Amino acid sequence: QENLLENLHRIRNALAHRSEHSYDVFSRLVIGDLPLNPLEKKPASFLRSTFRAHPYQTRFENYLTEILSIAQQLSRV
């Protein structure tokens, strides 16, 4: 869960700051060696890309589901 939150923070920084450093961190630590086409290697396109085909879900939708799960676990504490 911590790794997920760190990756979301890296994606957020790449979207918000658009600096060479934030893109470098995004490229190295978030997408790494994922098999993506060149258009999906930018932060916004990455979030719009397909996470799974059946049922269809984007990476953004998957991240929202994961964040909801973390929030629900924290609210039980």
Per-residue pLDDT of the chain (77 residues; tens, 9 = 90+): 999 999 999 999 999 999 999 999 999 999 999 999 999 999 999 999 999 999 999 999 999 999 999 999 999 97
The pLDDT value given to residue 26 = 98
Long-range contact pairs involving 52-57 (C-beta distance under 8 Å, separation at least 24):
none
Q: How far apart are CA 22 and CA 50, in angstroms?
A: 23
3-state helix, strand, coil in the chain (%, to 5): 70, 5, 20
The pLDDT value given to residue 13 = 97
Predicted TM-score of the model (pTM)? 0.90
